[in-house]
Structure 1
C-alpha cells in the first residue's frame, strides 16, 4: 500500500485498547482489529441473517455476510484511492452489521418496538455491545478489545449523534439517544458530537453503494421486476439503457451483471472524485481535523447523490414494499415480537441467557438481556426457537 495521506488514521497514533494487548511484530493495530472481527462468532452468524430476502427463499440471494464482504471490497477500493488506512476501513466495513437482528430491518423494527419501554434498540449500539461485551472468547476479558478508532467508527460511521451542546441530531431528534450509548466500555470518550474518521465515512458510503446495486440484482432474481423496469430509474436507468444497447443479444443474467458492476464502478469513481475535492476544500491536515470539520467529507457528488436518493425511492416502491416481500416481513416481525414476549414472561431462554435473565436486577436489565439474545440469533435459529416455544412454524409464503 502506498504511503497514506496526513489526514488518514494512523495505527501508530491510535488511542489504544481498553485492555493492554502488547505489540504485534507482524500486524498493525487496525489489522489486529480486522482479524478479531473476522474470527468472531457474531461475524460467522451473518451468513444466516437476512439482507432483504428471507433466508429460506433461496441460497443465491445475498445475506448479511455476503453483503458485508461486498461492502468491505468497495471500502478498500475507495480507501486505497484516497490514500486512507485500508485496514481500518476494512475493519469497519466488516463490523458494520454485527448488531443486526435476524430477518433484516423487519426484525430490527420489531425489536425496537418491543424494547420501546426499556430504551429502544439501535443496531449500531448493539454492534458495540457485541464487540465490547457479548463476545466472550478471550480468557482475560469480555469483548474483542478493539481500538478506540474502530469503536468510534462502528458507532458514528453515519455521523455525529449530538451537537456541540449535547442535543440529539438527525434521526435521534425524535426518540433521543439509544439506551446504553453513554456506557460503552472504551479507553476514551467516543465523542458523540464529532464526525468519525474518513475510514468510517468510507465504510458508510460503501454500504450504500453495495446495497443499491445488489438489491436490484436480488429483486431481478426473485422475479419481482425486470431489467426494463429500471430504464427510467435514477442512477440505474442510463446504465440499463447503455447495457441493453451494447449487449442486446446476451441473456438477462449477463445484462444484469453488466448493470450491477457498472453501477458499482461509477459510484466508486464518483465518490473518489468528489471526496478528493471535499478534502482539498476543507483544508484538513490530520485525522483530528477530519473529526472537527463539521461535515461529512466522503460523499457522492451532488448530481449522483440526488440520483441515488431517487433510486432508493424506486427500490422502496417497486421492491421493498412489494407484497411478495411485505408478507414474509410481517410474519417475521410477529416472530420477533412473540419471542420477546415469551422470554420476558417466563424463564425459557436456554443456557447462560436463561441464567442471566433469571438473575437480572430489574425488568429493564432483563429486557436488555432478551434483546441481546434475540439480536444475536440467525434466521433459522429464531424459527427453531419459535417452534420450540409455540409448537408452530411460521408460513412465509
Structure 2
C-alpha cells in the first residue's frame, strides 16, 4: 500500500512546477506520525479539515448578510467552497500542489465567529488579547479540534491558514494562491449577494472597473484568475498593474457602499449586545462552559476559554444560548 503514496509523490516530482511544494518535502507535523500508505500528507490534511466539526459548523455562520431570508445567500461554508474552487483553478494552471492548496482553502475560515465580521469585531473588543479569525483558525486546528487534541496538520497548511488574509504572506505559493482566491471570491460573491438583497444595483459599479474586469461575476472572476496566472512567476503571484488597480478600486467601492450600508448592517448593534452578554455571563459563570473549555479556563485563563467557546458557535447556537441565558421561558403547569 505504501507504493500508492510513493507513486503520487513521484508524479508530483514529475509534473509540478519548480516553485511548488512537494508533499515529500513537507516540514512535517507538530507531533510526528507514521505516513499514510495511500495519501500524501497534504491529502490527509485536506481530509482532516473536511471531516472536522468546525468545518460542518460553517454552514450556519454568516458571510456578510446576517440571517438572511432566502436560500441563495452565501454562508461561511459556501464561501469556503468557492475559495477552494478558485484556488485549485489557480494552482492547476500554475502547476502548484492542488492538495496543499485545497487543504489551506478549506480550513482558512475555521476560526471565524458567528455573525461574520460583526462577531469578530465584538470579540476583538471584549477579549483582552484581541481576536483575529485567521489566528483562531490556527488555534482550532492546533488545539480545539478532536476533543482538544488538535488535527496535527502539516507546517505548510498551518502557515497558509494563519497568513491567508493579512500581514506576512504565506511561505508557499499554494498559500499565496489561497490568499488571492479568498479576495477574488468574497469580492464577487458579495457583489452578487448585495444585488440580490437590493442594496446594490449593477449599474452602480464603477464603469472604469467594469471595463477592465467585466460586467458579470463570471467575467470578473475569469479575468482576475487569468490575469493572476499570466503575470505570476515561480517565486511570486501577482496581478498586472491594470487589473490590480481595478481590483483595489472595486474593493474601495464595496467598503464605501455595501459594507457600510445601513440596511445590510442594521442588525450589527444587536450582534454586539448578544456577543457581549454571552461573554460576560460565561466569564462570570464558568461552570456554564462545557468540560473541555473548563480545562482551557484552568490552564490558559477564563478569557481564552470563553473566547474559544463563543467563536466556535454557529449563528443559531449563539442565539439559542442567548435565549437560554436571558429570555424568560413560559411557565408550564405540570
TM-score (norm 2): 0.89
Distance (Å, rounded) in 1 between the aligned partners of 2:88 and 2:178: 9
1:109-148 to structure 2, matched below 5 A, reads: 109-115=121-127, 117=128, 119-136=129-146, 142-148=149-155
The answer on 1:68 being equivalent to 2:80 is yes
Distance (Å, rounded) in 2 between the aligned partners of 1:201 and 1:232: 29
The answer on 1:157 being equivalent to 2:164 is yes
Asked if 2 retains the 8 angstrom alpha-carbon contact of 1:72 and 1:94, the reply is yes
Give the counterpart of 1:260 among 214, 217, 221: 217
CA deviations on 1:260-297 (whole Å, 9 max, x unpaired) are 11111111001101113xx3xxxx5xxxxxxxxxxxx2
Shift of 1:237: 7.4
Shift of 1:19: 2.4
Query: Cα gap change, 1:238/1:210 in structure 2, threshold over 3 Å: closer, same or farther?
Result: closer
The residue aligned with 1:309 is 248
Structure 2, unaligned runs of 5 or more: 1-11, 330-334
CA deviations on 1:82-113 (whole Å, 9 max, x unpaired) are 11101101111111101110010010000000
The residue aligned with 1:329 is 268
Query: Cα gap change, 1:230/1:392 in structure 2, threshold over 3 Å: closer, same or farther?
Result: farther
Shift of 1:18: 2.1
Asked if 2 retains the 8 angstrom alpha-carbon contact of 1:233 and 1:311, the reply is no
Query: Cα gap change, 1:160/1:106 in structure 2, threshold over 3 Å: closer, same or farther?
Result: closer
1:205-216 to structure 2, matched below 5 A, reads: 205-216=180-191
Shift of 1:62: 0.1
CA deviations on 1:41-71 (whole Å, 9 max, x unpaired) are 0000000000001134332100000000000
Query: Cα gap change, 1:203/1:315 in structure 2, threshold over 3 Å: closer, same or farther?
Result: same
Report the number of matched residues: 317
Point out the structure with the larger helix share: 2
Distance (Å, rounded) in 2 between the aligned partners of 1:25 and 1:323: 54
The residue aligned with 2:8 is none
CA deviations on 1:326-355 (whole Å, 9 max, x unpaired) are 211221122112211111122353422563
Distance (Å, rounded) in 2 between the aligned partners of 1:21 and 1:27: 13
Distance (Å, rounded) in 2 between the aligned partners of 1:354 and 1:205: 34
Asked if 1 retains the 8 angstrom alpha-carbon contact of 2:214 and 2:223, the reply is no
TM-score (norm 1): 0.75
Query: Cα gap change, 1:370/1:329 in structure 2, threshold over 3 Å: closer, same or farther?
Result: same
Query: Cα gap change, 1:337/1:353 in structure 2, threshold over 3 Å: closer, same or farther?
Result: farther
Give the counterpart of 1:228 among 186, 203, 206: 203
Distance (Å, rounded) in 2 between the aligned partners of 1:121 and 1:207: 20
Give the counterpart of 1:388 among 324, 328, 332: 324
Distance (Å, rounded) in 2 between the aligned partners of 1:143 and 1:321: 37
Distance (Å, rounded) in 1 between the aligned partners of 2:208 and 2:51: 40
1:1-397 to structure 2, matched below 5 A, reads: 3-115=15-127, 117=128, 119-136=129-146, 142-158=149-165, 161=168, 195-230=170-205, 232=207, 234-235=209-210, 239-240=214-215, 259-276=216-233, 279=234, 284=235, 297-347=236-286, 349-352=288-291, 355-356=294-295, 360=298, 365-391=301-327
CA deviations on 1:139-161 (whole Å, 9 max, x unpaired) are xx811111111111112234654
Query: Cα gap change, 1:392/1:153 in structure 2, threshold over 3 Å: closer, same or farther?
Result: farther
Shift of 1:26: 1.8
Structure 1, unaligned runs of 5 or more: 162-193, 241-258, 285-296
Shift of 1:391: 0.5
Asked if 1 retains the 8 angstrom alpha-carbon contact of 2:83 and 2:178, the reply is yes
Shift of 1:231: 5.2
Distance (Å, rounded) in 2 between the aligned partners of 1:268 and 1:392: 52
The residue aligned with 2:9 is none
